[in-house]
Chain A
Amino acid sequence: MKEIMAVIRMDMIGKTKEALSIQGFPALNCMKVMGRGKKKLDYTLIERYLSDGIEISSPKAAEAVSEGHRLVPKRLVSMVVNDDEVKKVVEAIMETNSRGNPGDGKIFVLPVSDCIRIRTGEAGEQAV
């Protein structure tokens, strides 16, 4: 079993969910997270907004701008699948999210040692 964690753009979650359910992977966990990547971002545009006194409606975005280190709101999608399905899921996420711009996200594949279904108590591959 593998856990697939993908950090993607906020507005791509709908398309990603759709693409994954078409491929047959409807089960996923989704979190709102803040993050930053390797590339330094150009914040002059937002700074101009701030200096003009225009309010930023999202408190999360305002927090990200006001802090010294700049974090951007992102979505973290995490799902556990069997080993042979990893490639299919990674390809589906990559295809829907790839626009060729920095900030599109990252996909991590981590090993999972066991999985237990709470309702029935069954463990192993059939519980995934």
Chain B
Amino acid sequence: MNRNPGLRQKTIMPALALLALLAGSCATIDVPANLQSLRTVGIISAVGDEFTLTNAGLTGFADSDRHFPIGPWGIDDLIVTRTAARLGTHVQVQPVTYRRASFAAHEAHYPIAVMSLLHDDPIKELVRREVSPQGLNGYVVVTKASSAYGSRRRTIAGLGIIRTGAVLGSYAELYALYEIRVIDGREFKVIDKRSAMPLNSGQTVRLAGPSRAVDPSLLPSANEPELKDQLKAALTDLVETSLAATLQEFRLD
């Protein structure tokens, strides 16, 4: 038996991070490169290809995620349009071509924690290799981000919904997890990178990015296996609302 009450998990590394933060508050802040110097920009979005339905809580052993193609919903076009509108008038947005599937594959999950530290950001190389035209001042790249969820820290990414079964009822959380990089067009360095953040801290379900509770009746069922228009509207609104807040964090205009 335990002779001493257990300690909470995972407090050591965050504590070191907090110490670094506190130390940082007393010193000069290293401001990222000025994004206002960008004159020609290409915008890439690879978030809206797929919608994932995840069952959580009281589930069967065989329950697995369901994936729905939602390319026709135009989420990526919406992101490109809204991002272009947010850029200042001094910025010339040029159309770019790229293979969306390459960018849509969200970052790999490494089974050994430190392995993720040893790999360079793959998006930089994708921009160098797969985006045309090259030679613009910069590229704004919107890709899927991920978040841990639930009792076993399951990883979810991109766009989707979590349906959690409980003894008394069920509930659903719609999410839009993405991150935005601004990549220098000559050296292909990441000038700035930010993840879309939770819309507010007053949510019962906490994810690492934007999410909101929705009525579980919006979810596909055996009788209605397709995604409903109300779900599309709710997702579009979540992306638009969170994108405006995230882009505000960049000094793009």
Query: Are A and B physically bound partners?
Result: no
